[in-house]
Structure 1
């Protein structure tokens, strides 16, 4: 194997640039001495400005899998099935409309905070599982994509590329937290946009490429088979609403200077997602319009299905001059790192705050939390790197985790924000049923057979054509509501004795839970008090807790008054 030295030099220079920016941004992070502040590290002091915020919010979804996958789907199934750019853009719009303002206004630190405040620490820990798996598998998938890309263009061993890229992302993330992640996103997104747009004209004008406007409908636009209409809608809804309950998104929302700015960033980033997908769409159209016999490509033709995930690096390699392909390679590398560091940091933030601090060490110091977060960053990065090297079906695993985020987490997020009477009993029931119906639908990509065959089941391909993922999500949502309200009513009216409130979330609220919620800040306390209201909107008289433990006092309407002398405590 011969390594392309110019390409290797280009990659090294790019990595040095990213590392330099990450270390420069780390100076803002308060990770040592008397100023150690875990919230500052996790949310960059809630001081992310407009330009940096737009770039880092856009980079939430624009990664290596996003760029490579967009080009791949154009060649494989046509533009009509290129749902990700539009689906994720709409997810940012809906996230901004319905969730960004409420989450930022309450002053939460992670996406799991409202769940733990309302449903308890252990239920929040259970909800951490699909969130963690989604982030780990996503990181592993994009690191694997980078290794494959480098092996195509630079002839560099994919394992070496994966390890080096992971180590660099881990290093500046460990040192600078969200500051480093956000500022490197600016450089990385700029490299993606510039690198791909520079490469597109060379690929389109290659003599082996036919004009993409000729027979476009047959070559790369294609049409939707009516048989797959319901599946198509199911996939689009999954992208739109399953793209909301991710910590990588809410970390940007919660780091914004205000709730209004968090919404604006979401809307602008939605536009950015579509813009960043355009060069990848053009590469897909070019690949579908190329006579590969007239290129230096010497592999089997037509290109095998298992190699279509490399179609974008193949275009860079065989349709562009070397110096251009190396620029494009920098763009793909940037896309990978912009997503890898975000996912690793997001999973680690939730672990240090919502698992370690809330469940195991409620009195942990700021320095202790920061050290736990560093260990978690290293652990999540190591796990993702090992999976990227050893596991061959990472994309399939991530698809399944993305389904679980949609089916399990999205209805939970709706209820914890909008359904005031929802409680731990409904949350747990919805979690179990949603998970059951999703797994019962099967997953051919990882060999899980369908236990429930919904209407229109395709026996030939062993595939569900019915929108069973959306149905599973709705079952989970309906279950949370239909279990929460009757139990809340039964406990508050005395139908069920209070001793049966084993989860201590309706009438057996522990005094220390109230006090802990109050100490975490007035925003969070507002949500807690709302959850203690009875079915008539009054503070439930059955609740036994000491007003003296509260920072502020709760009146009969559930409004918190926070006298200056108590806040000073």
Structure 2
């Protein structure tokens, strides 16, 4: 007789539903009582951990399992995983062996479930219940309503985009990617702010304030973002919007040609994929803490919804859903604040700000030897954001460059306002006696959970319905950033790679499909990365690093240095990548080859750079691009090197890049689109 062996270690009241309610047509047998039939095990005994349970289909106990059972059991595995039941499916030629089972490593438990054995083998199913399951049903209902609201808004926006497309004489790409350059001021402020106030923003600020080794002075994001928007408004909005570019990469293709531009396109695309990953990671961790929902399911559901409404209406859907999401972020976070401040387990944050109580003061401090690292991280956040396509997508969708500038200035104010609740939540968590809560005797920092302090604080320091609101804020922030990253990368690939390099004769209908496929591919790639590493910090720093050290120098030179050319760009690009890799990165276990002055060895034995090395790399790249470009321009212009050896066609591409002036561009009047010239005339 062939049996399925089920190992179910669990204490009292923990496995009351784990088998009978999941597989009603099965009967259970206790191996320690000679096959005595126990039709109901919903009242498990305290010694259940030592028991083996056998089960098979009614009336077919002696028959081998069919292929249908294999498929059914495979589906059951994923269901149990979603319910947080650790399990492993193993197989063998004999099912009668009662081999002692050790606790398998988590990776093996997970991977073993993906393999179906040959039909002649017999299944052994081992189910281990790790913890009591307590899904937060009201929270799930609220989140379902929120997702339906966002999806409905996206559908409505897609219908509006189709109406605008029928009225517009331009091509469909401009409607999809830039909403026909017709985003009004208020919606522009909402969508630009919502793009920057993502899950990493909300969780990262709270983590830095709470972390005893950091504090408020290291919670850098709000202030650098203000600088990002002001610099973007003052210096970058006008040359980008006045030329009517379609994407951030258009000036590169006009000036450097397609070959070099495609190389520069790669770090921009990778940065967007990492952006998707880091936003989803922050949501998965938060939902798993408060809703007790599987990390996997949290990420998959949010990813599918964001991809779906981005597909439907392009920037129209993204912008109008950002309005709903930003309102939800603002209301949810500020409603949580008074409940956090009034909870009885925490001290007055004004006292703990400068006095050590349960941990060092949450204000934090910057030691003189740490100043270089602080300056470096500040500039990375402030200037790195200026090299993201998502930023220019909002600028280019405005009706004029003046509106784009005002949108940037206004959004900077909202970034500061939306950073305050996270600061307060982190401060309250730092002022809490965690022994008075049901969290446990150790603090979240001691348990290595400082990165999840916001959901933990909401879970243990506020009523349930308030913590659910906090989840809504994080979910809204995540989706508002994720949809921007999806459309950003789709814009770069479809316009600058597919249309200008792969298929220049592609029709408008074909380009619409390319955009949709790009959104799906980037969404799936970012989602897949979340299962490789669940650290928001890793994805955040790697993505911003690439933007700051590689893309920002290139963008500054192509817009503001007339003599920049392909020779300088490729030299600066290679130098930036080489220096960045040689500087090391402990977050990804990359050992430094270049050890800048002021570095120190941490407790783990890693060498940490305290010199502002990223800023050094950025400045070195800018100077290299300018120096090599100037030198090569002289060589060709003076005839030292014949023009036939000019691989990057310096003179030809210099003429292609048309810069606007005040006489040619008046408020409310659009000049001829350089992006159209780009689509028709670019060459390698």
Residue of structure 2 equivalent to 1:490: 635
Bigger drift between 498-507 and 370-379 goes to 498-507
Matched, 1:28 2:160: yes
Q: CA deviation at 1:393?
A: 4.5
Residue of structure 1 equivalent to 2:621: 476
Q: CA deviation at 1:451?
A: 0.7
Residue of structure 1 equivalent to 2:285: 148
Distance 1:321 1:24, change over 3 A: same
Distance 1:206 1:34, change over 3 A: closer
Residue-by-residue CA offset, 1:259-278 (whole Å, 9 max, x unaligned): 00000000110111110100
Residue of structure 2 equivalent to 1:211: 348
Q: CA deviation at 1:523?
A: 5.0
Residue-by-residue CA offset, 1:322-367 (whole Å, 9 max, x unaligned): 1111112111111111111111110111100011111111121111
Residue of structure 2 equivalent to 1:96: 233
Structure 2 Cα separation of the partners of residues 344 and 514 of structure 1: 28
Matched, 1:63 2:198: yes
Residue of structure 1 equivalent to 2:11: none
Q: CA deviation at 1:123?
A: 1.6
Residue of structure 2 equivalent to 1:196: 333
Cα contact 1:231–1:466 (8 A) shared by 2: yes
Residue of structure 2 equivalent to 1:334: 476
Q: CA deviation at 1:457?
A: 2.1
Q: CA deviation at 1:401?
A: 2.5
Q: Secondary structure at the match of 2:597?
A: coil
Residue of structure 1 equivalent to 2:609: 464
Between Structure 1 and Structure 2, whose CA radius of gyration is higher? 2
Matched, 1:323 2:473: no
Structure 2 Cα separation of the partners of residues 383 and 226 of structure 1: 41
Distance 1:459 1:390, change over 3 A: closer
- Considering Cα pairs closer than 8 Å and 6+ residues apart, tell me whether 1 or 2 has the greater RCO: 1
Structure 2 Cα separation of the partners of residues 327 and 390 of structure 1: 29
Distance 1:174 1:525, change over 3 A: closer
Residue of structure 2 equivalent to 1:2: 134
Structure 2 Cα separation of the partners of residues 438 and 432 of structure 1: 10
Stretches of structure 2 lacking an aligned partner (at least 5 in a row): 1-132, 356-360, 659-669
Structure 1 Cα separation of the partners of residues 381 and 649 of structure 2: 35
Cα contact 1:440–1:450 (8 A) shared by 2: yes
Q: 1:44-123, aligned counterparts within 5 Å?
A: 44-76=179-211, 77-123=214-260
Q: 1:530-549, aligned counterparts within 5 Å?
A: none
- Larger strand percent: 2
Q: Secondary structure at the match of 2:195?
A: coil
Distance 1:392 1:233, change over 3 A: same
Cα contact 1:393–1:446 (8 A) shared by 2: no
Distance 1:139 1:510, change over 3 A: closer
Q: CA deviation at 1:506?
A: 3.1
Q: Secondary structure at the match of 2:347?
A: coil
Q: CA deviation at 1:33?
A: 8.5
Cα contact 1:283–1:315 (8 A) shared by 2: yes
Matched, 1:364 2:503: no
Q: Secondary structure at the match of 2:344?
A: coil
Structure 1 Cα separation of the partners of residues 444 and 412 of structure 2: 35
Cα contact 1:117–1:524 (8 A) shared by 2: no
Residue of structure 1 equivalent to 2:61: none
Structure 1 Cα separation of the partners of residues 441 and 147 of structure 2: 31
- From 351, 357, 363, the equivalent of 1:221 is 363
Q: 1:118-133, aligned counterparts within 5 Å?
A: 118-133=255-270
Structure 2 Cα separation of the partners of residues 235 and 39 of structure 1: 35
Q: CA deviation at 1:235?
A: 1.0
Q: CA deviation at 1:527?
A: 11
Q: CA RMSD in A?
A: 2.3
Q: Between Structure 1 and Structure 2, how many residues are aligned?
A: 524
Structure 2 Cα separation of the partners of residues 224 and 525 of structure 1: 46
Q: Secondary structure at the match of 2:608?
A: coil
Q: CA deviation at 1:305?
A: 6.2
Cα contact 2:255–2:565 (8 A) shared by 1: yes
Structure 2 Cα separation of the partners of residues 521 and 256 of structure 1: 14
Structure 2 Cα separation of the partners of residues 339 and 392 of structure 1: 18
Q: Secondary structure at the match of 1:129?
A: helix
Using the size of structure 2 for normalisation, the TM-score is 0.74
Using the size of structure 1 for normalisation, the TM-score is 0.88
- Larger helix percent: 1
Q: Secondary structure at the match of 2:549?
A: helix
Residue of structure 2 equivalent to 1:283: 425
Structure 2 Cα separation of the partners of residues 462 and 54 of structure 1: 42
Q: CA deviation at 1:397?
A: 3.7
Q: CA deviation at 1:408?
A: 1.0
Cα contact 2:281–2:535 (8 A) shared by 1: no
Cα contact 1:64–1:333 (8 A) shared by 2: yes
Q: 1:440-459, aligned counterparts within 5 Å?
A: 440-459=582-601
Q: CA deviation at 1:139?
A: 1.0
